[in-house]
Amino acid sequence: MNFFIGFLIAIAVGLTGIGGGSFTVPALVLIVGLTAGEAVGTAFVFAGVLRLIAAPFYLLGKRFHGRYLWLLLLGAIPGLLLGTFVLRLIGEEGGNPVVIILLGILLAASSSVTFVPRAQNPGFARKNSRWLPWLALPIGVESGFSSAGAGALGTVLLLNYSEMTTPEVVGTDLIFGLVLAVIGGAFHWKFGAINSAVLLQLLAGGVPGVILGCALARHLPARKLKLVIAMIAIFAGVQLVWNGTRTLLANRAAAAVRVAFHHR
């Protein structure tokens, strides 16, 4: 089961750059039965390895936009450091369910623009490139709070508001997400325990899966690839809303039990 979970998620990552954190954590909790801490830590390492394998395919094929990548990182890296600092300052462990729910709603709604041609503006990034760092800043801040799904917003932004080809969008986002993951990993002190046995099983399916996804992205027609990315992003957004809502309700139920016990 872990092999197939890793294989399917890795295909999505190699094909679209989306899904490493959004899909892996819920799958490990609900299907595999890991604790939340183990799931986050294991998923973080798994998604990082997938991006590390996928990135050279896009780098060697020059399927990325260097200038837009630099502009996005220019805003996202300070945002990431700010988000991490605030997170440590308030003493939380990340993954705030309200933040995850809002991210999921934003991701699903923004991805829907792909199906509304009139709402798209392919010339926006070229004419307003100075705005890209400011648009990437909140993506970086959110990454500091929760690693799940933030990079997908960059994909959706470039997909509908730049002149880049769809493979270039995927490659740029993969490298973008990889840089944020490396820097975030240096500043976050812990991501939860890592279940080595499950991680190895995920990678056994994930390594061939991500290679297959990268190969499919090269041959899939641009229009179809764009629709696949949009559908996966919408599904990831809905998944984040569901997972965040579930966590929020569980936290409230636990708080109610503690209050009731205290009054006794």
* 112-121 mean pLDDT: 80
Residue 165's SS3 state is coil
Q: Is 193 helix (H, G, I), strand (E, B) or coil?
A: coil
Tens-place pLDDT, residues 46-65: 888 888 898 888 888 777 88
**How far is 124 from 163, CA to CA, in rounded Å?**
8
Buried b (16+ CB within 10 A) or exposed e, 83-102: bbeebeeeeeebbbbebbbe
pLDDT at residue number 212 = 93
- Highest mean pLDDT out of 20-34, 61-75, 142-156, 197-211: 197-211
Percent of the chain with pLDDT over 70: 86
Which of 91-100, 142-151, 190-199: highest mean pLDDT?
Answer: 190-199
Q: What is the pLDDT of residue 200?
A: 93
Are the C-beta atoms of residues 104 and 241 closer than 8 Å to each other?
yes
20-27 and 36-60 helices cross at what angle (nearest 10)? Answer: 150
Say if residue 244's pLDDT is above 60.
Answer: yes
pLDDT digits (tens, 9 = 90+) for 252-264: 887 777 777 776 6
Average pLDDT over residues 219-240: 81
If you average pLDDT over every residue of the chain, what do you get? 80
**Which one is predicted more confidently, 91 or 159?**
159
Is residue 121 predicted with pLDDT exceeding 60? Answer: yes
pLDDT tier at 219 (50, 70, 90 boundaries)? confident
Residue 198 tokens read as 């499950």
pLDDT of residue 209: 94
- Identify whether the C-beta of residue 169 lies closer than 8 Å to the C-beta of residue 120: no
Residue-wise pLDDT for 13-37, tens only, equals 888 877 776 778 778 877 888 776 6
Q: What global pTM score does this model have?
A: 0.75
